[in-house]
Chains A and B, each alone.
Chain A
Amino acid sequence: MCRGGQRGAGSATSKMTTRPSVPAKPGEGPRAAELALVERCRRGELGAFEELYRAHAGRLFSLACRMLGNPADAEDLLQDIFLAAHRKLDSFRGEAALGTWLYRLATNQILDHVRSRAGRAGQVTDGLEDATVLPDAGEHRLGDRAIGRIDLERALAQLPEGCRAAFVLHDVEGLEHREVAEVLGIAEGTSKSQVHKARLRLRAILGSVRHQP
């Protein structure tokens, strides 16, 4: 996963292989290797598919885990994603990088899962179109201590699903708001408000953790 550096508008380094709109040039070195790997997978070589899995599972598992807020669901979904990928390998033509293709497949499956879970739970509030911005919790300042990875992962899991998805795609995965909007099927403005809302909520959650005796 591409990380590092200041990301945001104008940044050209954010997860290029994951972007939905990155053009591809079939026949280039890495792409040719991907096509060869995919061909071996199509022929039913388990070792080839394991190679493909090992190269991409971590990134997709991280995405699923954080977007679902539940590692057990993410495991099940990761299995479904790769089984679906294996079924759909015939449709992979190499126009996009294999990582991009898998990322699209994974985000679609994850979002389907989120929506069906929200539907089952009868959650009609705080959907992806919910643009509510919370008032700031000024009393929940973070202070000087660093934000721990575990604290942040836990706080992420407490976010409402709508703003969690936008936040993960934007702040964790490094997509721009227009790309987040494209992936989630929402307006760009909604992506911004959801990410902003998520940050304020995270501040409140992390701030309250810090203020506990």
Chain B
Amino acid sequence: MSCTRFIPQIQEMVDGTLGAIRRAELDMHLEQCDDCRSLLEDLRRIHDAAASLDELQAPDRVWLQIAGRLRQEGRLADTPASSTPRRSHVALLAVAAALVIAVGASLMLLWPRAGTTPAPAQAGAATQPGTAPAASGNPAAVNSVEDVENELRQAEQHYETAISRLQQIANSNQSSMDPQVAATLQKNVQVIDQAIAESRAALRTEPTSAPARDSLFEALRQKVTMLQDTIALMNEMRKGNSAGAAQVLNKS
């Protein structure tokens, strides 16, 4: 644009601070300058669009983390669970819900990450002449795609066994829990189960995808960790130990 000297006046027009004399000068210029008219229109629209932006909603996990921190730092009134069951219940429910969110968020982050588990093709390449074996101490185990897949299946089986045992403990303890808290914790399992199902579906589509394998194992590992945390949380809740429950949250 050749008439840059009018830009400050156009901006002040948008601000609503342009004086009458300079406004008249600008109006005269605008009558004969398409570029400046367009600029004024665009800047006004940007200003108006910015002014009408909606308020963003803070994720619930922020409050849950704040509540956990306040409790952990002893900045809340000390209220034993037996005397004020409702307040304790609400706080612990918040702690339980935070587990859902923390686990869900961490799983979301897994997808774009580069894989660390060698894909079968990569494992095969590592055993070519002149290169070191990929797996230390067990080069024969990575000699074929089949071997790698067998190992992965075994590893998955180990996870499944651990999950099954932990799930039994968690289920047996849930009978003594408040139904609302139990329902919230159940969401944890659903979030992870969904991630596991999606990872398995991705593996079915691309059996050699290292990121898909990583996601599956990470989801399984998360489920083990989450169940361990759930059990620890149940123990603390049964004892009415809010600080202990907050520690479980912070650990996770």
The interface of chain A, by Cβ under 8 A from chain B, is 1, 3-4, 6-11, 43-47, 49-50, 53-54, 57-62, 65-66, 75, 78-79, 82-83, 86-87, 133, 135-136, 138, 141-142, 146-147, 149, 152-153, 156, 167, 171-172, 174, 177, 192, 195-196, 199-200, 202-203, 206-207
Task: Check A199 against B66 for contact (C-beta < 8 Å).
Answer: no
Task: Check B63 against A46 for contact (C-beta < 8 Å).
Answer: no
Q: Which residue of A lies closest to B61 (CB)?
A: A75
Beyond A142-B41, A172-B51, 17 additional pairs, beta carbon < 8 A: A1-B55, A6-B16, A9-B15, A10-B16, A43-B77, A47-B87, A79-B69, A136-B1, A138-B38, A147-B45, A149-B54, A152-B49, A152-B53, A177-B15, A192-B11, A199-B11, A199-B43
CB-defined A-B contacts under 8 Å, sample of 27: A6-B16, A9-B17, A11-B16, A43-B77, A44-B77, A47-B90, A49-B70, A50-B63, A53-B66, A61-B58, A61-B62, A66-B53, A75-B59, A78-B58, A136-B7, A142-B45, A146-B49, A147-B46, A152-B50, A152-B53, A171-B46, A171-B47, A172-B50, A172-B51, A172-B53, A174-B51, A203-B42
Interface of B is mostly: helix
Q: Shortest beta-carbon distance, B45 to chain A, in Å?
A: 6
How many residue pairs bridge A and B at CB < 8 Å? Answer: 138
Interface of A is mostly: helix
Interface residue? B67 (CB, 8 A)? yes
Q: Which of B30-76 contact A (CB under 8 A)?
A: 35, 38-39, 41-43, 45-47, 49-59, 61-63, 65-67, 69-71, 75-76
The 4 closest A-B pairs by CB, nearest first: A8-B16, A44-B77, A61-B58, A171-B50
Complex CA gap A146/B49 in Å reads: 9
Identify which of B12, B58, B77 contacts A57 (C-beta below 8 A): B58
Interface residue? B8 (CB, 8 A)? yes
Q: Which residues of A contact B75 (CB under 8 A)?
A: 44, 86-87
Complex CA gap A142/B78 in Å reads: 58
Q: How many residues of B contact A (CB 8 A)?
A: 46
The interface of chain B, by Cβ under 8 A from chain A, is 1, 4, 7-8, 11-12, 14-17, 35, 38-39, 41-43, 45-47, 49-59, 61-63, 65-67, 69-71, 75-78, 87, 90-91
